Structure 1
Amino acid sequence: MTPTARRVLIVAGALLIVSWALFATVVLPGGYQAGTSTFGVGLAVTAFVLGMRHAFDADHIAAIDNTSRKLVDDGKDPSSVGLWFALGHSTVVLAAVGLVTAGVGALTSQIGAEDSPLALFTGVWGPTVSSVFLLSMATANLVILVRVLRRARAGGSSGVRPLRGGAVSLVITRAAATLDAPWKMFVVGVLFGLGFDTASTITLLLIAGGAGVVMPWYAAIVLPLLFTAGMVTCDGINSISTARLYRWSADSPERRSRYNAALILLSVGVAFIVGTVGLCGVLVDSAGVRWAPVEAVAATNLDSFGLIIAAMLLIGWLTSWIFARSRHEVTA
């Protein structure tokens, strides 16, 4: 395990300890009410599970996976990508809950109403930002895939001609190239979080809105802290696993030419699917596009796609490891 991976686990562990300790020492003794129910273990577990579930949203998994893939190709350790992304996303949630518990009731009513200006704006912002980001990273990783295949065809030589493309491809790949360090995923997480477009985030804010009316802010803020702890833990572990997977697939010529190419293809395909579905959703819901193919893509249900992506990556790595192990034993 790399030093960065250890630091990620330390931060995630600290958040878990702090959030649950605050719940045990601040919330439970107070017997506070959150709406019509008591802010007890059940509500705390709900906030924590919402954070964990949010970490497995398709756009989260695809963003972390594609960014990790690119950073590995740049020779950098992407183990903290998921941590920075989750912290950026959680910053928006913490700020929003802080406003709600401070008495800005208009925010809760705006989020709870589907036709409110805030809901309409975030309905466009969230999927647009996530889709453009995913398509940019997918394009950058597609360039990497072509380079991997060219190197394999050239027998691993370094004298491979650079790729050339059109103006759009050049702009996208250069934009993706600015994401050259894991900490920059904090900014991406903030931009994703400004969308408020997921059911888990909206549910948490609505719960906090009811809680903030009947309990002090320092008790209500424990809700988003538990949410953050759940999301940081899952996104952090996902990032560590993804980083190790891609480093393993790229640490030998044989893996670079076979397993690495297959994993990049999977990563690119996932990002293109999630990004395209998101953009089509914006075109249908906000731009009023009624073209049948676009509507069909927009109607694609991605609720469980994040879990499927994680499972596919794990299965792909296990399969590659088993084959590599068996080949090593045969040749030994």
Structure 2
Amino acid sequence: MENLPHDWLALLALVFVLGLKHGFDPDHLATIDGLTRFNAANHKPRLSRWSGLLFSLGHGAVVMAVAVMVGVVARRWEVPGWVEDLGAWVSILFLLALGAVNLAAVFRAAPGQVVRMVGLKGRWLGKLSQASHPALIACVGALFALSFDTLSQTALFSLAASSMAGWMLSAALGMVFMLGMIATDGINGLWISRLLNHAD
């Protein structure tokens, strides 16, 4: 306990709130909505109710793995100064490329036509939102965790934690982040399932 920062409870609260916020990301909301609706339509009400939780468990497993890995590696490795500049340029170029691809898709679409989502998530989302087994739903969540947003957030709080108290604090923060995400994703799945039940 002496290695922990004085305000470690504030750090835990911040990471929990980041997990809550992450669960409200549009890709989480849309995917959990799709999984819940698909399973409700296929007469799997129990799976429909728990789609958000299962998605979040898969997502959280990747977060935990990255948090522990970064926590262990960070103790033995010092980040070179050029990494910050490289990260900024990669983000800028990636966002410009993504914007250009999406803009091209809009211009290719006929007037009044719904524009299909572009990118790996966009291409696979239709197929992934039809997962009807708990393990598959968790795998969908794990695949969604392999995004820049999730990995960069996890790496950031894991680096901060490992510099303060080692890999165990990184793992604890990963768990707290996952719990925040489970809260919002789980409630989302339950809520959508309940709405669908009342709509019948």
Q: What residue in structure 1 maps to residue 88 of structure 2?
A: 114
Q: How does 1:54-203 map to 2 (within 5 A)?
A: 54-77=22-45, 78-104=48-74, 105=77, 109=83, 113-115=87-89, 128-134=119-125, 136=126, 175=127, 179-197=131-149, 202-203=152-153
1:196–1:42: structure 2 CA closer, same or farther, 3 Å change rule? same
1:32–1:112: structure 2 CA closer, same or farther, 3 Å change rule? farther
Q: Provide the C-alpha distance between the structure 2 equivalents of 1:232 and 1:106, rounded to a whole number of angstroms.
A: 32
Cα deviation, residue 229, structure 1: 0.5
Cα deviation, residue 106, structure 1: 7.6
CA contact (8 A) 2:162 2:170 kept: yes
RMSD: 3.0
Q: Provide the C-alpha distance between the structure 2 equivalents of 1:90 and 1:107, rounded to a whole number of angstroms.
A: 25
Instruction: Kindly provide the amino acid, as one letter, of the partner of residue 49 in structure 2.
Output: S
Cα deviation, residue 80, structure 1: 1.0
* 1:98-117 residue CA offsets vs partner (Å, 9 max, x unmatched): 11111254899589813359
CA contact (8 A) 1:86 1:235 kept: yes
Q: Provide the C-alpha distance between the structure 2 equivalents of 1:233 and 1:51, rounded to a whole number of angstroms.
A: 9
Decide which of 190, 193, 198 is 1:243's aligned counterpart: 193
> What's the secondary structure of 1:113's corresponding residue?
helix
Instruction: Kindly provide the amino acid, as one letter, of the partner of residue 175 in structure 2.
Output: L
- Between the aligned residues of both structures, percent identity stands at 28
Q: Provide the C-alpha distance between the structure 1 equivalents of 2:73 and 2:7, rounded to a whole number of angstroms.
A: 19
* 1:12-60 residue CA offsets vs partner (Å, 9 max, x unmatched): xxxxxxxxxxxxxxxxx33524xxxx45121111100000000011110
> What's the secondary structure of 1:115's corresponding residue?
helix
Q: Provide the C-alpha distance between the structure 2 equivalents of 1:204 and 1:52, rounded to a whole number of angstroms.
A: 14
* 1:206-248 residue CA offsets vs partner (Å, 9 max, x unmatched): 1211221331322221111110000001111111111111122
Q: Provide the C-alpha distance between the structure 2 equivalents of 1:211 and 1:176, rounded to a whole number of angstroms.
A: 34
CA contact (8 A) 2:3 2:164 kept: no
Q: What residue in structure 2 maps to residue 281 of structure 1?
A: none
Cα deviation, residue 202, structure 1: 2.4
* 1:59-83 residue CA offsets vs partner (Å, 9 max, x unmatched): 1011111111111110002111011
TM-score (norm 1): 0.46
**Alignment length (residue pairs):** 172
Q: What residue in structure 2 maps to residue 42 of structure 1?
A: 10
> What's the secondary structure of 1:90's corresponding residue?
helix
List runs of 5+ in structure 2 lacking aligned partners: 99-117
Cα deviation, residue 97, structure 1: 1.2
List runs of 5+ in structure 1 lacking aligned partners: 1-28, 137-174, 251-332
* 1:137-175 residue CA offsets vs partner (Å, 9 max, x unmatched): xxxxxxxxxxxxxxxxxxxxxxxxxxxxxxxxxxxxxx4
Instruction: Kindly provide the amino acid, as one letter, of the partner of residue 85 in structure 1.
Output: F
Q: Provide the C-alpha distance between the structure 2 equivalents of 1:218 and 1:70, rounded to a whole number of angstroms.
A: 39
Q: Provide the C-alpha distance between the structure 2 equivalents of 1:60 and 1:81, rounded to a whole number of angstroms.
A: 11
Cα deviation, residue 129, structure 1: 3.4
1:39–1:96: structure 2 CA closer, same or farther, 3 Å change rule? farther
